[in-house]
Structure 1
């Protein structure tokens, strides 16, 4: 099996490391089966998507819709490099799973609107409803709970995308483009321990009032998040065997 590639852009080391560990764990991958690149530190201009079984993009505090003047140089660089990567991914229908940031990134690439006008969701859990069947949704129930937290959202379904999942607060929670390109607004990799770590790590990043961090932790600590991770496992299983 060719390895999978994880593209990250979390500036905080602990949050980045735990995201990587979660994808290893829930993807049932060994370290040698997952190549990790931190885009905020490393260029991806040399990457050939065809060298990998599939590509996974993690989330982070970067927002596609922020003004150019407000984006750090590293974000401007990796956003430009991702466009070139998408050119190949979409031309060759390379297996891809974009999580949270990946939804906005793909929507923008396809010419759709990504903004803070509507459909942002506070940090916490939401009920996700499946809209279509798909191989990487195998053994995932028609309704399940997942963790979210995003300041921006795609405002309408991008051209050529199939809606796979929605929620009452954000109508576009998961899409598929072509046959092998996926994006989720929710976080398939997040369990309770993971979201508690992120609440503490990002409490001063504008997602919520920092003084509400502990009450927010109390609100999520008893959640039972069982099925989003199955999507990550299915993606790895389905494309790892091809």
Structure 2
């Protein structure tokens, strides 16, 4: 997907669970970077080589049958290289076969770094700094043109450098927060060694993207489906800033939105952001198409297809659209291709994949280079209200995947009320901005309860709140017991049809944030 940024860092992915974290750390330095599979041909970047190359870690041993192999042609760019964990081992093993061996003692977790050369990569990294190790192999025989610049009590080779060229390697993971001086190490490589200026900001992104949109679109028209979420709103605002009323936005009430959401969000679009938006109430059509469906993937397909039908109907009298705008983000792009090919599908994503041929529209995806927090930064720069920018993520299928099992208007209304009480409570307690995402789920479970000395047999609501940086991993939020007690009491008392509330204490992985 490489685009021509003035300066950028290439990350070659050897399969590490931390590869996206490397990218995030570099983006925090205001330097653009991209992740590509390790086996991407170097010629793909010949027209605009990166300022530096990082070789990620990986789960394999260099001796495994299908171990990723470093393509040494990347060194023909004559750019700085940093190997991380497996990236370093692959470099050493490729140059000197047999230089990597199984360690007598595996090293996982924290270790104290003993710095032998505090210049270059390890500038401002003190002796005894904690680093995060995660390896079972180690290097025992360095290529002769390399020297050790740091070690630990267990790893005689913890960091290395080429004696003449800007080629480095670390056995630990500088990208994780457990490595105390990890940011400084990456700063040294990206800014000092690779000579990046660090001027890739939300403002510069907007300026560049507006020009790109104008060149791509010309005098043609763009259709944008608004979900009410941050991503699509930022996309619409950015495109509108670029091409004005050549854009038409469609905001659909699919019957799966939260309480009062359609009217409140539509008002924000029209009165505050001044977007050219058309509101369409298609709730009856969606619920009719979803009747009797309980499988979550089938729900997603039906919801996606129904959106296309509604779009077609909404623009029936205007058939001169050329582009469809989407809020695809960089994690969606990365997850579609892993270091060995397509990743396993956990859940289908409403923004990834092709368009139905009958729409005959080309995609325009202005924020596909960005992580979620970067999209929020762009939104703030565009003047979108903070109350909107700070909203928790909301799935494309909406409450359709938060009512487990078959859908009905009655169940959706129950969930809307419970969700509203939960979110309102988080705001009142000042907890809303402390969690990444919060939601209520209506379970296909009814249980016995007692209300006013009478037996009840009603639904169960599960509350879920997680903390996260980007949604790739998440931990359950430790909300105060007093708060949970109050919210539970309100839901049971105010939402007729619910007599039990539970709190989800699962992390991602192994669970996902949404239940379906």
Report if TM-score (shorter chain) is over 0.5.
Answer: yes
* Rounded Cα–Cα distance in structure 2 between residues aligned with 1:153 and 1:141: 23
* Rounded Cα–Cα distance in structure 1 between residues aligned with 2:104 and 2:29: 33
* Rounded Cα–Cα distance in structure 1 between residues aligned with 2:81 and 2:23: 14
- Return the structure number with greater relative CO, CA threshold 8 A, min gap 6: 1
* Rounded Cα–Cα distance in structure 2 between residues aligned with 1:21 and 1:226: 15
1:5/1:54 contact within 8 Å kept: yes
Q: Give the corresponding residue for 2:185.
A: 231
Q: Give the corresponding residue for 1:51.
A: 49
CA pair 44-119 structure 1, distance change in 2 beyond 3 A: farther
Q: Give the corresponding residue for 1:101.
A: 86
Q: What SS does structure 2 have at the residue aligned with 1:51?
A: coil
* Rounded Cα–Cα distance in structure 2 between residues aligned with 1:56 and 1:117: 24
Structure number, greater radius of gyration: 2
Q: Give the corresponding residue for 1:20.
A: 20
> Which digits, 9 at most, give the CA deviation of each residue in 1:114-156, with x for residues without a partner?
3434355332111110101322222111221111111211112
* Rounded Cα–Cα distance in structure 2 between residues aligned with 1:131 and 1:176: 11
2:85/2:170 contact within 8 Å kept: yes
Q: Matches of residues 1-40 of structure 1 in structure 2 within 5 Å?
A: 1-10=6-15, 15=17, 19-25=19-25, 28-30=28-30, 33-39=32-38
CA pair 60-28 structure 1, distance change in 2 beyond 3 A: same
Length, aligned pairs only: 189
Q: Matches of residues 116-131 of structure 1 in structure 2 within 5 Å?
A: 116-118=101-103, 121-131=106-116
**Is 1:84 matched up with 2:38?**
no
CA-CA distance at 1:48 after TM superposition: 4.3
TM-score scaled by length of structure 2: 0.34
Q: Give the corresponding residue for 1:154.
A: 139
Residue 240 of structure 1: which of 195, 202, 213 is its match? 195
> Which digits, 9 at most, give the CA deviation of each residue in 1:51-100, with x for residues without a partner?
1110011101122123xxx216xx3xxx1x613324x15xx3x2011100
Q: Matches of residues 198-237 of structure 1 in structure 2 within 5 Å?
A: 225-237=179-191
Stretches of structure 1 that go unaligned for 5 or more consecutive residues are: 193-224
Q: Give the corresponding residue for 1:174.
A: 159
CA pair 106-135 structure 1, distance change in 2 beyond 3 A: same
Q: Matches of residues 129-140 of structure 1 in structure 2 within 5 Å?
A: 129-140=114-125
CA pair 85-26 structure 1, distance change in 2 beyond 3 A: closer
